[in-house]
Amino acid sequence: MYIVSLIARPGALDPALVSALRNALGGGEAVWLARGEAAEFPLETLPANLEELRGAIADQADLNLLPAEGRRKKMLLADMDSTMIQQECIDELAEEAGVGAHVKEITARAMNGELDFEGALTERVALLKDLPESVIDKVLEARITLMPGGKVLVATMKAQGAYTALVSGGFTAFTARVAALVGFDENRANTLLTEGGRLSGDVARPILGREAKIQALEEITARLGLSEADVLAVGDGANDLGMLGRAGFGVALHAKPSVQEQCDLRVNHGDLTALLYLQGYAQSDFA
């Protein structure tokens, strides 16, 4: 048995669209998880034209197909930049260094999988050399905003006994603050090196990238006695693909096109609460 999930921006999910899809696919009775925002219905067989349907309504809602069993996950593994926050931290630091446009171009190419992550990271960090260490707090206070729905996502999953981990190819100076603000149980990222109160233009080794996120998935599940099927992973860039492919649910959130192509679960309309709807939580269940 499968579940067809439909998620749109608040107030934008048309009941007529839900009804038409349910009738076209021969699905069971529709259930509204949030009126005007999220609905789902059961389906006995896998539709052959899923991608065609998904494309046809892409401008109206996110269509995802999920297994009916085992939807509520016991662990959340989340990327930070452009996932749990609305920015890329290194781009914001680069703006302070006066090299914003150049660094943003490298970031975009790296996140799209066009560049080697480690090489792209060291190249960008080198451009931050001699920035005062205090710029990190300045950027955190003035430039960084949380992605909508993140606190509710983490609080709701934790209330149901789930473990939450923030894993980033960014920097511990940012993940520590974001993890504390949002409520994550732990965080992992790269460490920016400093000398005499200024950024040295380098990061500590080993550099955490795609493989480190897979390693986090393996280590944390082993420590908690969970299977990878118990994990919901979310991210937006090419270096997230490893963990997204291994987790029980791997969700591409407002992701680069090349990333979406490789993920079965995609969210483009909803905020982070969409990850709760995918697990079958109704809005009334939110913490």
Residue holding tokens 């894993």? 167
d(CA 275, CA 79): 14
Judge contact between 232 and 249, C-beta under 8 A. yes
- Of the residues 59, 62, 81, 137, only one is catalytic, namely 81
- What distance in Å separates the CA atoms of residue 15 and residue 232, rounded to the nearest whole number? 28
How buried is 257 (Cβ within 10 angstroms: 0-12 exposed, 13-18 middle, 19+ buried)? exposed
Q: Which amino acid is at 141?
A: E
Tell me, yes or no, if 202 is annotated catalytic: no
- Catalytic, out of 79, 91, 240, 271: 79
Pairwise CA distance, residues 68 & 175, whole Å: 34
Alpha carbon distances (Å) from 217 to 136, 211, 236, 260: 28, 10, 17, 20
Rounded CA-CA distance 217/231 in Å is 8
Query: Does the active-site annotation cover 91?
Result: no
| Residues recognised as catalytic | 79, 81
